[in-house]
């Protein structure tokens, strides 16, 4: 039996890990990419392979090393001889106030969130075309409503949103390109103060935090939605239409 194959960047933890598990349960073989979270990724691959033999592989690479993206793409295809789904999930996220922003921060945020996804898609274009595959980019609701204190990150995600729309035209009809724009799914690793959490929840129409499962289910929908391309699906509990995007 031939299983479709998905490559998920930044898949060792959090949303990437949950997405890999959902796709695996849905019958995909998965390639788990990570950079520094090697132990977490190794554990995930082992767990998935225990469920179904040879159904998961680990790919360790630094997406900032753009000269390696062709190698990353080739290695991913070599595991199973095909690729059907690319999920550009890897991201860097941290504040950059205008006064103190550096060239290094610009390059880091722009490369991880925008440049690497573009050139990874480019490297995998032929394989995705062969299998009439799909690309799903992890955008952000802050691509439309900038988050105070994070201008470079927001600009990078806005670029990723336009990449999604542009490439949906450039790569049609054989490759579909869509995006997911998460809202408040997990609290930031640098914990917000309780009053800030209350403020965020009050901005969400459904009045609750989302979960990685919500994102993974949306990704699975887009992977199967063969007449959907060029779309960015907000999975934010109604926050974007409720007028709030401050934190």
φ/ψ of residue 207, rounded to 5: 60, 35
For tokens 């691509």, what's the residue? 143
> Which pair of structure tokens corresponds to residue 157?
């995600």
Contact present, 182 and 236 (Cβ < 8 Å): yes
- Which of 181, 159, 179, 155 lies closest to 168 in space, CA to CA? 179
> Which pair of structure tokens corresponds to residue 214?
């919500």
Note if 153 is an active site residue.
Answer: yes
> Which pair of structure tokens corresponds to residue 217?
């289910």
Given 28, 80, 153, 227, which residue is catalytic?
Answer: 153
* Secondary structure class of 230 (helix, strand, coil): coil
For tokens 């408040």, what's the residue? 184
Contact present, 5 and 31 (Cβ < 8 Å): yes
Contact present, 24 and 48 (Cβ < 8 Å): yes
Q: How far is 21 from 236, CA to CA, in rounded Å?
A: 21
* Secondary structure class of 5 (helix, strand, coil): strand
Q: How far is 45 from 110, CA to CA, in rounded Å?
A: 29
> Which pair of structure tokens corresponds to residue 126?
């032929």
Q: Which residues are catalytic?
A: 153
């Amino acid at each position: 039996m031939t299983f479709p194959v998905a490559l998920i960047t930044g898949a060792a933890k959090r949303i990437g890990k949950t997405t890999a598990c959902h796709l695996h349960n849905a019958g995909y073989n998965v390639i788990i990419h990570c950079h520094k979270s090697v132990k977490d990724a190794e554990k995930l691959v082992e767990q998935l392979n225990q469920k179904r033999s040879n159904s998961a592989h680990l790919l360790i690479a630094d997406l900032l090393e753009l000269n390696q993206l062709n190698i990353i793409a080739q290695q991913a295809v070599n595991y199973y001889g095909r690729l059907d789904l690319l999920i550009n999930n890897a991201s860097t996220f941290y504040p950059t106030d205008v006064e103190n922003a550096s060239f290094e921060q610009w390059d880091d945020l722009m490369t991880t969130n925008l440049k690497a996804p573009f050139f990874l898609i480019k490297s995998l274009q032929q394989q995705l075309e062969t299998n009439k595959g799909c690309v799903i980019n992890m955008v952000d609701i802050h691509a439309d409503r900038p988050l105070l204190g994070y201008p470079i990150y927001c600009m990078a995600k806005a670029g990723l949103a336009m990449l999604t729309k542009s490439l949906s035209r450039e790569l049609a009809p054989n490759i579909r390109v869509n995006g997911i724009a998460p809202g408040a799914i997990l609290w930031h690793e640098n914990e917000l103060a309780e009053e800030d959490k209350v403020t965020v929840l009050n901005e969400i129409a459904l009045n609750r935090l989302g979960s990685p499962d919500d994102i993974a289910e949306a990704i699975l929908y887009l992977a199967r939605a063969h007449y959907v391309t060029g779309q960015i699906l907000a999975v934010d509990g109604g926050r974007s239409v409720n007028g709030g995007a401050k934190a």
